[in-house]
Amino acid sequence: MSTIDFALTCPAPAGRHTTVQLAHGGGGRLTRELVESVFVPAFDSRALRERHDSAVLPLGEAWLAFTTDSYVIHPRFFPGGDIGKLAVFGTVNDLAMAGARPLYLSAGFILEEGLPLGELQRIAASMRAAADACGVELVTGDTKVVDRGKGDGLFVNTAGVGVVPRNVAIGPRHIRPGDAILLSGDVGRHGIAVLSVRKGLELESGVESDCAPLAAQVAGLLETGIDVHCLRDATRGGLATALNELALDAAVGIEVEERAIPVCDEVRGACELLGLDPLYVACEGRMVVFVPAAEACRALDALRACHGGEAAVQIGEARTGPAGMVTLKTTLGAHRLLDLLSGEQLPRIC
Amino acid sequence: MSTIDFALTCPAPAGRHTTVQLAHGGGGRLTRELVESVFVPAFDSRALRERHDSAVLPLGEAWLAFTTDSYVIHPRFFPGGDIGKLAVFGTVNDLAMAGARPLYLSAGFILEEGLPLGELQRIAASMRAAADACGVELVTGDTKVVDRGKGDGLFVNTAGVGVVPRNVAIGPRHIRPGDAILLSGDVGRHGIAVLSVRKGLELESGVESDCAPLAAQVAGLLETGIDVHCLRDATRGGLATALNELALDAAVGIEVEERAIPVCDEVRGACELLGLDPLYVACEGRMVVFVPAAEACRALDALRACHGGEAAVQIGEARTGPAGMVTLKTTLGAHRLLDLLSGEQLPRIC
């Protein structure tokens, strides 16, 4: 069913809910329902239909990548980062996922009356350091203030603009059955780092967020001339959610091997303690890469040569079907469905 | 003092406050202090130093305009518009103020748990209609949800991208003493329309917001070949604030004639009732235009030929000094200073 059919046949909000639920922000099934039932029909544009992390758009002679994300993470400071660093790297990564070279960022702040100005300065400095670290410029901004009790200290939106090289065409619709699926590093660090502060957990080995820019890894990959089919960073909802989105949008089946997916001991331990599946826990510096199987080894070499990509591995492959389904081959050799989560696992993780 | 001097000499938040005040969002003196003391030193970039509504940036062969605004207006629906329409036209207008042709918008939503989904659909539809009305495309978006009590229903951020024609160089630093200052229509409608709902006022003649796109007027003006020096829409803080910002950023004096500034009777009446100065009340579809005095009449003709610009008038002129000061010649022939407001006149007006 095309998005236009959807607009014509489902004017009412889809699903069981008539009000916004926390899970609408969780990145799982309800987030997808919200986007499909409200935003896609309303905004319906070619770019949105591509279901990409960034829109890729003509602008004169160039191809422009354009993306936005708001950040509402709680708490604002966590091991390995803060909301400002996250906002810069998150948007840089969304541009990189379109194969773009990130260039410019905007920053829109929604401040709650009473926020300490010193904290705002600290976050602004962190944004600048993050921008410098990946060679992008913060070029335009906006500040709004809401009355006490009508916000939560600070929310920040970053939008980003980059250029996509002429020969690059990366996105869900370029995924082909048979593609090798690579993962750039171990998963779940960001979510556990945030939870460890939020829950006041004294996790013995202090997991740090993996919050990091992926643009250099993407540039390294593209420089090799490998025909990269799709890139997707595993953020809200973790690796499993990213794979599900891609399986749905590319109408392919995906099979991944549990044994191949790196999860560090500290994350695994914390997940067991908290009853979480690490495959659904947010990362902020990890991506999956779809390339033709024949180019998998070269692509891994290219990733491993880049800072942050040293632990890249192949975790599975795309198949002809069942379309939209992600299957995990467990360490015991059984197969289980890695579904989209319906509920909210970790609210306000980014 | 350059922004870098500022960064070196004032690392601590400027002014009397150590926490965010509502007035930091009002568009007046405190907003300026916040930007100067926190964001400019942290983000310091050539584009930010231009103090323009949009950053104008090289992108391959093109000049790109890039801007962002968050919208936290309360209430979300008001006579003549809603938060969605405002978010689209507001960002389109910021692009137009750089002389750009607006092309693409992003939309980032921060939803509070419990928001009726029907309301979100209504706002999304309003954004689409507004985008269609000015020929821009909503191409990328994001949704976050915060827990009940940590937001206020819905905040929306729009960022926008446009192209600036090669021969166009518009901005505060192009203002010259002697420039004629034009105003595209009567002022204060948006603020009064919003206040009328917020205060439950039964204003007899129902003022509607002037919320409207200015891109067609700007295009009309540029088509004439007139050497437009600067454009600025009069939003938060109204006409007086816009003029103050420009006088400061261009280091010129500005004199305007009270008699020449159109304020409709309904707005004037409501302002008297509420103890407000209409020159400080927000507009969302009005701009000031700086052109060489010799081209003022042609520029007025061009504005008046466009929808929404029919009531354009000349209101004053730029002078060599006193730099940074805006003087109003009153209807009685006296002169009074139109200063930046220190406090918050109308919180959450956009």
The string of pLDDT tens digits covering residues A331-343 is: 999 999 999 987 7
pLDDT at A100: 96
Nearest-by-Cβ selection for B38 from A47, A55, A121: A121
Considering B140, B168, B196, which residue would you say is the last residue of a domain? Answer: B168
Considering B168, B192, B217, which residue would you say is the last residue of a domain? Answer: B168
- Are residues B104 and B18 both part of a single domain? no
Residue A98 counted as domain residue: no
pLDDT at A9: 33
pLDDT at A5: 28
Residue B348 counted as domain residue: no
Taking residue B125's Cβ as centre, other Cβ atoms within 10 Å add up to 17
pLDDT at B203: 60
- What residues contact A18, with CB distance under 8 A and at least 6 apart? B116, B117, B118
- Are residues B271 and B302 both part of a single domain? yes
- Are residues B153 and B230 both part of a single domain? no
CB pairs under 8 A between A and B: 302
Q: Say if the Cβ atoms of B57 and A121 lie within 8 Å.
A: no
Average pLDDT score over residue span B297-324: 97
Q: Report the number of distinct structural domains present in chain B.
A: 3
Residue A148 counted as domain residue: no
Q: How confident is the model at residue B204 (pLDDT cuts 50, 70, 90)?
A: low
B24 contact residues in A (CB cutoff 8 A): 111, 143, 145
Residue A193's closest CA among A41, A98, A85, A118? Answer: A85
- Are residues B80 and B104 both part of a single domain? yes
Percentage of the residues of chain B whose pLDDT score is greater than 70: 94
Instruction: Evaluate if residue A203 carries a pLDDT over 80.
Output: no
Mean pLDDT of chain A: 91
- Are residues B237 and B186 both part of a single domain? yes
The string of pLDDT tens digits covering residues A16-75 is: 799 999 999 888 889 889 998 999 889 988 888 888 889 999 887 789 999 999 999 999
Q: What residue in A sits closest to B35 (Cα-Cα)?
A: A143
Average pLDDT score over residue span B320-340: 95
Regarding beta strands B253-257 and B335-337, do their DSSP bridges make them parallel or antiparallel, or are they unpaired?
unpaired
- Are residues B186 and B319 both part of a single domain? yes
B23 contact residues in A (CB cutoff 8 A): 145
Nearest-by-Cβ selection for A61 from B45, B60, B152: B60
- Are residues B209 and B328 both part of a single domain? yes
- Least confident range from A53-67, A199-213, B185-199: namely A199-213
How big is chain A by its Cα radius of gyration, in Å? 19
A157 contact residues in B (CB cutoff 8 A): 68, 70, 108, 157, 159
Residue A176 counted as domain residue: yes
Mean pLDDT of chain B: 91
State which residues form the domain around B312: 172-337
Taking residue A170's Cβ as centre, other Cβ atoms within 10 Å add up to 29
In the stretch 113-152 of chain A, residues with CB closer than 8 A to chain B read 113-118, 120-121, 124-125, 127-128, 131, 137-147, 149-152
pLDDT at A225: 95
- Whether chain A has a CB inside 8 Å of the CB on B200: the answer is no
Residue A24 counted as domain residue: yes
Residue A182 counted as domain residue: yes
Considering B168, B195, B210, which residue would you say is the last residue of a domain? Answer: B168
Q: How many residues does chain A have?
A: 350
Predicted ipTM beyond 0.90: yes
What is the rounded distance in angstroms from the CA atom of residue A171 to the CA atom of residue A50?
Answer: 7
Residue B206 token pair: 């129902």
A142 contact residues in B (CB cutoff 8 A): 68-70, 157
- Are residues A324 and A180 both part of a single domain? yes
Nearest-by-Cβ selection for B62 from A20, A62, A348: A62
- Least confident range from A203-207, B49-53, B56-60, B229-233: namely A203-207
Q: Say if the Cβ atoms of B118 and A13 lie within 8 Å.
A: yes
- Are residues B190 and B214 both part of a single domain? yes
- Are residues B84 and B148 both part of a single domain? yes
Average pLDDT score over residue span A144-148: 96
Q: How confident is the model at residue A1 (pLDDT cuts 50, 70, 90)?
A: very low
Q: Say if the Cβ atoms of B163 and A116 lie within 8 Å.
A: no
- Are residues B157 and B195 both part of a single domain? no
What is the rounded distance in angstroms from the CA atom of residue A137 to the CA atom of residue B98?
Answer: 19
DSSP string, A207-275: PPP-----HHHHHHHHHTT----EEEE--TTHHHHHHHHHHHHHT-EEEEEGGGS---HHHHHHHHHHT
B69 contact residues in A (CB cutoff 8 A): 108, 142
The string of pLDDT tens digits covering residues A69-89 is: 999 999 999 999 999 999 999
- Are residues B187 and B249 both part of a single domain? yes
Residue A239 counted as domain residue: yes
Residue B115 counted as domain residue: yes
Q: How confident is the model at residue A145 (pLDDT cuts 50, 70, 90)?
A: very high
- pTM across the whole model: 0.94
CATH of the domain at B274: 3.90.650.10
